[in-house]
Amino acid sequence: MALPLMPKATAVWLVDNTTLTFKQIADFTGLHELEVNGIADGEVAIGVKGFDPIANRQLTADEIKRCEDDPKGKLQLWHNPAAEGETKRRGPRYTPLSKRQDRPAAIAWLVKFHPELSDGQISKLVGTTKPTIQSIRERTHWNISNIQPVDPVALGMCKQIELDAAVAKAARKKGDEIMSDDERMKLVSTEQSLAMDDQPKMPSNISGLENFSLSEDDPKGKEDFSDADSFFNLPDEDEDEE
């Protein structure tokens, strides 16, 4: 279920300005019912200023009125464009403080074993910056002599499926860059290949013999090769004795 922006501050406003039940407010804001009860008693969210969900387009007055009249009713969050993307953070991955000292080791491992990965991909995998990656690539990092490559998956900095996906994407991109335009034009789908007519080709090492014929009607093909000795131009035994 989508939650409103600033859920605790929204709960404070709903407790102070409506007659909704604690359960209704808790279900809407994602808080525990006892936590909402603590807000009403002044034991929780002390000093938190209420956040008006009506003024901020998260609820309508009619929706609040409907649920006030029906204690079993559940508040429905009004579409709020400002809330889109809140659950998915943009930019580099957040790395906990306890693992930040492991980032250079993870970067060194990725640079060493997966050089096809771009700086942007490495940045997303381990939550670092491009200057740091570049310094490790060029071995100009201030602590480069003490950095030992360690698998970022083993360090818990990314998942194996994420690493595999990044490597596969980088490999596809590298393959497209290496392939020439003519080679791309020659690539066809399986269905197109099956629908094509057979086009037998003459090997290059016998080019020029396309018109050679061994038929009796062709004067070029009347040469007699029935005698194996004459075919291989072997000398007669009598000549060797002489």
**Sequence ranges of the domains in the chain:** 7-83, 97-178
Query: 111, 108, 120: which is closest to 169 by C-alpha?
Result: 120
- Please tell me the predicted confidence (pLDDT) of residue 199: 53
Res. 145: pLDDT tops 80:
yes
Percent of the chain scored above 90 by pLDDT? 20
Mean pLDDT calculated for residue range 105-123: 92
Separation CA 209–CA 212 (nearest Å) = 5
CA atoms of 211 and 216, how far apart (whole Å) = 14
- Most confidently modeled of 75-84, 130-139, 170-179? 130-139
pLDDT of residue 224: 55
DSSP 72-112: T----PPP-GGGTTSSS--SSPP--GGGGGGHHHHHHHHHH
Crossing angle of helices 22-29 and 7-17, rounded to 10°:
160
pLDDT in tens, 48-65: 888 888 888 888 899 999
Task: Tell me: pLDDT of 185 over 60.
Answer: no
Considering the chain, what is the average pLDDT of its residues?
75
232 pLDDT above the threshold of 60: no
Residue 188 clears pLDDT 80, i.e. is over it? no
Confidence band (pLDDT; 50, 70, 90) for 71? confident
Tell me what pLDDT residue 45 has. 79
pLDDT digits (tens, 9 = 90+) for 7-26: 888 999 999 999 999 999 99
Alpha carbon distance 13, 8 (integer Å): 9
Query: How remote is the C-alpha of 46 from its chain's centroid?
Result: 43
